[in-house]
Amino acid sequence: MKIAFFDAKPYDLPAFKAEGEKNGLEFIFYDTKLNIDTVALAAGCKAVCVFVNDTVDSSVIDRLCDLGVKIVALRCAGYNNVDLEHCFKKLHVVHVPAYSPYAVAEHAMALLLTSIRRIHKAYIRTKDFNFSLSGLTGFDLHGKTAGIIGTGRIGRVFIDICRGFGMNVIAYDKFPAEGAGIDYVSLDELLERSDVISLHCPLTEETHHLIDSSAIDRLKTGAVIINTSRGALIDAEALLEGIKKRKVGAACLDVYEEESDVFFRDFSGHIMSDDTLARLISMPNVIVTSHQAFLTEEALENIAETTVANILDLNENGYCENELCYRCGKVEDCKKGRSGRCF
C-alpha cells in the first residue's frame, strides 16, 4: 500500500521508513504541506499521512476522494485542521491520541523555568563572558498557584510535575475527571487565582481565543501563560497588548495562531512579515519554540508505530480504535467516544 506523507521533515523519516518496511507499507515523502494545490500528489495512494499544519478542508477531502484515497492518517493528537464532518461517509480519519504526554508536559515546564529564571538571557550572557546578574531575578514556583486548563493526558502529567515543585494546582475542564483528586474551579476563578496558567485543552469552536482580552483583564498582574496546545486558543494580539500593559508577566509559546506559514521552516536572514509574531518574539519575557513540544525520540517512535498500526487496522479489519468520530466531530463527548464511531 502506498501512502503520501505530507510536510515530511528529516526527523520523521527514520522511524516511518523503518515501520513502513517492517509492515509492507510504502511511504512517499513530500516536503510540501497538503492543501488544494498539492493534493494531486496523493494520486495512486490509499492513504495520506498528515501533520498539524496540513489542510484537510472540504475541497481537499473531495479531491482526495476523487483520487481514490480512503484514509487520512494524522500523525498527531490534535485534529482541528480536519473537517471531520465533511469526511463522513467519504474518508476514514485516524489519529495518534497519545504518544508521549511526558514530552509535551516536560517541554511546558522547560519553557516555564527558562522564562521565569531567565535562562535564555543567562545563556547568551555567559556565552559572551558576561557574568553580570542584573535583570535576572526570577521567582520561586514553590507555593505558587498553577491553573491547568484541560486535564487530559498531558494536563495531568503537567499537574504531577507542578505538584513536584510544591505548587498548588487548580484546574478547569469542560469534562472534569471525577475522583481524580483534581481541584476543579470555574474558568473565571482559575484566571483570577493562578500565578501560572497552562493550556492543555483541544482547539474547538468553543476554545478558540479562550484567552482573549477579557480573560487577560481577569488575570493576576504578572501571571505567566504557557501554551503548548494550539495557537488559536490565545488571541495573539490581545496577548501582546497584555504584555505591553505589564498585565502578563511572561508568555511561553510552543504554538502560535498563524504558525502554519512560519513554523518548522528557517527564516533566518529573511524579513519576518508577521508583525505580531515579530513583536512577541522581541519581548524579553516571551519565549517561542516552533511546535517542538512533542519532539522526543520516544514520541517519534510511538507516533510512527501507532500511525502504521492505525492504517493496517483499517485496511485489514475495517476498524481502528483511533478512528475519529467524524459524524459529530467530537471525540470527548461523543456517546460512543473512542470505543467506536457514533454513526
What are the residues binding ligand NAI (CB under 6 A)? 77-78, 98, 101, 104, 149-155, 172-175, 200-203, 206-207, 228-230, 254-255, 291, 293-294, 332
Q: Which three cell numbers stand for residue 211?
A: 484567552
Give me the least distance between CB of 67 and ligand NAI, in Å please: 28
For residues 134-164, b (16+ Cβ closer than 10 Å) or e, as one string? eeeeeeebeebbbbbbbbbbbbbbbbebbee
Q: What is the DSSP string of 190-210?
A: HHHH-SEEEE-S---TTTTTS
Residue 265 or 270: the one with the smaller Cβ distance to ligand NAI is 265
* Catalytic option among 86, 107, 156, 291: 291
Give me the least distance between CB of 1 and ligand NAI, in Å please: 26
Q: For residue 192, indicate whether it is catalytic.
A: no
- Residue in the shown chain whose Cβ atom is closest to ligand NAI: 152
Residue 151 or 194: the one with the smaller Cβ distance to ligand NAI is 151
Q: For residue 208, indicate whether it is catalytic.
A: no
In angstroms, rounded to a whole number, what is the distance separating the alpha carbons of residues 165 and 85?
Answer: 42
Name the helix (H) or strand (E) containing 282. Answer: helix 275-282
Give me the least distance between CB of 16 and ligand NAI, in Å please: 17
Residue 245 or 338: the one with the smaller Cβ distance to ligand NAI is 338
Q: For residue 265, indicate whether it is catalytic.
A: no
Residue 42 or 196: the one with the smaller Cβ distance to ligand NAI is 196
Give me the least distance between CB of 90 and ligand NAI, in Å please: 24
Helices 13-23 & 297-317 angle (0-180, nearest 10):
30
Residues labelled as active-site residues: 230, 259, 291
